[in-house]
Amino acid sequence: MTASGGDTQHGIRRRNLARVLRTVAAQGPVSRPAVAARIGLTRAGVAPLVDELLRAGLLVETGRAAPSGRGRPGSELAVSDRGPAGIGAEIGVDHLAVCAVDLRGRIRARAATDAVNRHSDPGPVLRRLSALLAEVTAEIAAEGLRPAGLAVAVPGLVARGTTTVVHAPNLGWRAADLAPGLASVTAPGRDARGIPLTVENEANLGALAELRLGGDGDGRPGPPPDFVHVSAEIGIGAAVVVDGQLLRGARGFAGELGHVPVYPDGHPCDCGGRGCLEQYAGERAVLRAGGLTPERSAAAHPGPGARIALLARRAADGDAATVRALHEAGTALGIALAGAVNLLDPRAVVLGGALAGLAPWILPSLERELALRTAVAADPGRAGGPLVTVSRLGADGPLLGAAHAALQAVLDDPFASCTSAHSPRS
Where do contacts with its own copies occur on this chain (CB under 8 A)? 157, 166-167, 169, 174-175, 224, 226, 238, 240, 242, 247-257, 259-264, 271-274, 276, 335-336, 338-340, 342-347, 369, 372-377, 379-380, 386
Nearer to its own copies, 147 or 169 (CB): 169
Cα dihedral value 175, 179, 181, 182, nearest 10: 140
Q: Are 230 and 257 a contacting pair, CB within 8 Å?
A: yes
**C-alpha–C-alpha distance, residues 90 and 135, integer Å:** 15
Q: Which of 256, 318, 336, 327 is nearest to 286 (CA)?
A: 327
Nearer to its own copies, 349 or 406 (CB): 349
Nearer to its own copies, 273 or 303 (CB): 273
- β partners of residue 198: 151
Q: Least separation, in Å, of the C-beta of 159 and its own copies?
A: 9
Q: Least separation, in Å, of the C-beta of 322 and its own copies?
A: 23
Q: Least separation, in Å, of the C-beta of 172 and its own copies?
A: 13
Nearer to its own copies, 330 or 386 (CB): 386
**C-alpha–C-alpha distance, residues 361 and 329, integer Å:** 9
**C-alpha–C-alpha distance, residues 408 and 101, integer Å:** 11
Distance from the Cα of residue 196 to its chain's centroid: 17
CB count in 10 Å sphere of residue 305: 18
Q: Which amino acid is at 173?
A: W
Q: Least separation, in Å, of the C-beta of 334 and its own copies?
A: 9
Nearer to its own copies, 128 or 253 (CB): 253
Nearer to its own copies, 47 or 247 (CB): 247
**C-alpha–C-alpha distance, residues 122 and 251, integer Å:** 22
Q: Least separation, in Å, of the C-beta of 370 and its own copies?
A: 10
Q: Least separation, in Å, of the C-beta of 75 and its own copies?
A: 34
What is the helix (H) or strand (E) element at residue 184, kind and residue range? helix 183-186
